[in-house]
Amino acid sequence: MSPDTAHAATANALLPRDLSPWGMFMNADMVVKAVMVGLALASLVTWTVWLVKSWELARATRLAKRRLAILESDTTLAEAAGETSGGEDAVAQIIQSASRELSLSDHVYDDGLKERTALRLERVESAMARRINRGTGVLATIGATAPFVGLFGTVWGIMNSFIGISEANTTNLAVVAPGIAEALLATAMGLIAAIPAVVIYNHLARATTAYRALLGDASAQVLLLISRDQSRRLPHIARAAE
């Protein structure tokens, strides 16, 4: 057998039978396999968070708009509190918090009541914003780290490919090509995991900002209700004084 024929036979023996993505995964090194499995799981987490948070944000936004319509109607804080009694959504918590402060202030309408109520509403808004943001931080982590994890798998796979070249005592590209292809698959997996994570994170961030704007509108409407209630009480107080 000639040297060229021997080299060709060695190259064919080292080539995997299946060069499809699944075949390259099955023939990859254990470290590269672990990297790709981890990236696949990260991608699954990304899409799961997107489905869950999209549903949660859509539901919370619809309910907030419905509550906001109540606040914008011809109503009082007591009536709004009665309609939202027992509600666990953000706007209901805002209304109930303002009603609680009014009760603790013995229904005395003054400038101090408005300041105390504004502080309460600010705290409720922050708490509700933290709750709606829960779970989205993992998307930022995946988007930032997945490309580097994939790159680590690629570097490890290429390193093993060059070790294979040294052990095979041949410079034939067919010997190293399968290992390089498997290594580059890890980089592709990293990008597949990272790109949707970044896009989804930005989408959810915009939706969350819009939701927080609704909460700000609700807080402003509650303060307006308190101001109206105060104005309605002044004529009664004046007549009682007479």
- What the block records as the tokens of 184 is 């580059």
Percentage of the chain exceeding pLDDT 90:
27
Spatial separation of the C-alpha atoms in residues 216 and 232, rounded to whole Å? 24
What integer is the mean pLDDT of 187-202? Answer: 93
- How confident is the model at residue 99, as a pLDDT? 87
What integer is the mean pLDDT of 129-154? Answer: 90
- How confident is the model at residue 5, as a pLDDT? 46
State the chain's mean pLDDT as an integer.
Answer: 80
- How confident is the model at residue 195, as a pLDDT? 94
Spatial separation of the C-alpha atoms in residues 71 and 224, rounded to whole Å? 9
Which of 149-163, 204-218, 223-237 shows the lowest mean pLDDT across its residues?
Answer: 223-237
- How confident is the model at residue 14, as a pLDDT? 46
- How many helices (H) and strands (E) the chain has is answered by 8, 0
Spatial separation of the C-alpha atoms in residues 177 and 121, rounded to whole Å? 62
- How confident is the model at residue 212, as a pLDDT? 92
**How confident is the model over 68-98, as pLDDT tens digits?**
888 888 788 888 888 888 788 888 889 888 8
Q: For 43-47, which contacts have Cβ atoms below 8 Å and span 24 or more sequence positions?
A: 43/189, 43/192, 43/193, 43/196, 43/197, 45/138, 45/142, 46/139, 46/142, 46/193, 46/196, 46/197, 46/200, 47/196
Asked whether residue 21 carries a pLDDT value surpassing 80, the answer given is: no
CA distances from 222 to 33, 42, 92, 95 (A): 56, 42, 11, 7
Which of 31-40, 200-209, 218-227 has maximum average pLDDT? 200-209
Does residue 175 or residue 10 have the better pLDDT?
A: 175
Asked whether residue 53 carries a pLDDT value surpassing 70, the answer given is: yes
Spatial separation of the C-alpha atoms in residues 24 and 118, rounded to whole Å? 60
Distance of CA 16 to the CA centre of its chain: 40
